[in-house]
Structure 1
Amino acid sequence: MPNTSITQAADYIQQADALIIAAGAGMGVDSGLPDFRGNEGFWKAYPALAKAKMDFTQAASPDTFVRDVKLAWGFYGHRLALYRNTIPHEGFAILKRWGESKAKGYSVFTSNVDGQFQKAGFAADNIYECHGSIHHLQCLEPCSATIWEANSFLPEVDHEQCQLINKPPLCPYCNQIARPNILMFGDWGWISDRSDQQAEQLQLWLQRCNNPVVIELGAGTHIPSVRRFSEQVVNSFNGKLIRINPRDYEVPLQNAVGISMGAKAGLIAIEQVIKPQQ
């Protein structure tokens, strides 16, 4: 028999008229993406940065592009290639089926920059990437507010040294260094126009929902962007919340349930309850 949390989550999903997927970094772990929780996990993925004692906040900074562009693009170029080659896990397909079955459809709110939801077939117009996307570029300066796709940039990276081997991408307008259109640490140059437009679309959609359910997956407490969004939907839009996280799964709200599991395992467990009832 499934536990009561799984059963409650299944009931929330079946009763909802709209599905909101709120995904943090833990969503990608089951697809084989590295977990950057703490320096230990980060340095295991990037041994050259461990040797230099450079933590994630230093590597993911526009200052690094100014000081050492080969290292900065070694880090982001490796991630770009990794995300391009990663196959989204089964949980993405489960969420897509649930979302497409709802009268008001679905929307995605994610702090991830990896583009895995688009790769899994989710409609781009239904996705809000609050920290931007590694698959888009902007000028480092920036010389303008232009954002463009990174499709033509094929990074060649010496992973052991975390160094870009080929030439970094350049801004097509001023011919200076380009960077990912991602909100980094200590970042005053991020062009948020694309993300702002996504946010506006999500808010307009939320206003049309009567009984939404938020499924929050792999969202930690260190940078709580996703958790704050999930709880705001419950408080402002009469929503319900399913929080799936192997560690920080407690929910201090009514109309909410916490499930102590990884994203993929939690979604499969809920799906097994829903299917016999259909």
Structure 2
Amino acid sequence: MARNHKWLIMNETQCNSENVERAADILVNAHHAIAFTGAGISTESGIPDFRGPQGLWRQYNPEIATIDYFLQHPKEFWLFYRMRLSTLFTAKPNRAHIALAELEKMGIIKTIITQNIDGLHQAAGSNNVIELHGTMRRAVCLACGHTYPMDAVIKKIDSGQVPPLCDGCGGILKPDTVLFGESVKDFERARELALMSDAVLVVGSSLSVYPAAYIPLFVKEMGGKVIIVNMEPTELDYIADVIIQCKAGDAMSLLLDAVKKKLSMK
């Protein structure tokens, strides 16, 4: 893909610069804009990302999040996961989640495609959400496919049933999330949406995990615009039309205000 496009970069102290206005112009003039979010959108909710300075994989071996590890060591996996659920379940949507939900209600963002499993987009009020990596809000029996709300699974674990088992068939329950080594969920649906979109707003993703990171590439290849909001440079900065390099909450609050202002002037 050619890299001869024009882009703008702003640092954390320039969140109110012309880049927000440029991004707002793209969104207001788009016919079908989507959002693509990663772990960085939820760090302001107290959920650590995976690869940052305080990231999960700097504290734990990523092998624990593989399907092979789960199948071989389900008890150890669930003890680790139970600890992580304590953080995930107490997290609340932050300004970035709320701004995206508002943009969806306004008809600016049609769908949110997320790599996150925390359910904070739905908690913020978003309705059209594709969870590529599943959700930690439920578990599924590997034997019969029956699903359980995660609060019921937590009760099993806290009562000493580790790993938690299916009430119906006795099979081992697994979080309804995509572990390393498993296929992402609803990717074909996400791909089709990206190919019909003329703008994508990326928020809080390093764009380093595939196939999920193909989503903005699909939009770009069809001639669409790419906006990236992230604290750090991403692996796909070279395709961006606008880059807003600051906190997701700050950037999204300003972007929402800019969009509202432009719509009021139409």
Same fold (TM over 0.5): yes
CA RMSD of aligned residues (A): 3.0
How big is the shift at 1:106?
Answer: 1.4
Matched residue count: 247
Contact 1:83 1:115 in 2 (8 A): no
2:69–2:77 Cα contact (<8 Å) kept: yes
3-state DSSP of counterpart to 1:252:
helix
User: Among residues 129, 132, 137, which one is paired with 2:131 in the alignment?
Assistant: 129
Contact 1:26 1:218 in 2 (8 A): yes
Superposition pairs of residues 52-201 of structure 1, within 5 angstroms: 54-55=60-61, 57-102=62-107, 106-123=110-127, 126-139=128-141, 142-154=142-154, 166-168=160-162, 169-187=164-182, 195-196=185-186, 199=187, 201=189
For structure 2, which runs of at least 5 residues remain unmatched after alignment? 1-13
3-state DSSP class of the match of 1:74? helix
The 8 Å contact of residues 133 and 182 in structure 1, kept in 2 or not, is answered as: yes
Between the aligned partners of 1:224 and 1:43, the Cα distance in structure 2 is 17
Counterpart AA for 1:184: L
Match of 2:220 in 1: 234
Q: If the length of structure 2 is used for normalisation, what is the TM-score?
A: 0.78
Equivalents in 1 of 2:140, 2:156: separation in Å? 20
SS of the residue 1:135 aligns to: strand
Per-residue Cα deviation, 1:74-116 (whole angstroms, up to 9, x for no partner): 221222332222111011121112122227x510111111111
In the TM superposition, residue 173 of structure 1 has moved relative to its aligned partner by 4.2
Deviations 1:162-181 (A, max 9, x none): xx773232134430321112
Q: Give yes or no for contact 1:16–1:102 (8 Å, CA) kept in 2.
A: no
What are the equivalent positions in structure 2 for 1:40-55 lying under 5 Å apart?
41-42=55-56, 54-55=60-61
Q: Is the 8 A contact 1:78 1:155 kept in 2?
A: no
Calculate the TM-score normalised by the size of structure 1: 0.75
Residue in 1 that maps onto 2:252:
267
Task: Read off the aligned partner of 1:228 and give its amino acid letter.
Answer: Y
Structure 1 residues not aligned, in runs of 5+: 45-49, 158-163
Distance 1:89 1:228, change over 3 A: same
Matched, 1:13 2:8: no
Identity %: 25
Query: Residue 264 of structure 1 aligns to which amino acid in structure 2?
Result: G
Tell me the alpha carbon deviations over residues 143-188 of structure 1, each in whole angstroms, 9 at most, x when there is no partner: 244444434222598xxxxxx773232134430321112221234x
Contact 1:32 1:86 in 2 (8 A): yes
Q: Secondary structure at the match of 2:55?
A: helix
Quick check: 1:6–1:270 contact (8 Å CA) kept in 2? yes
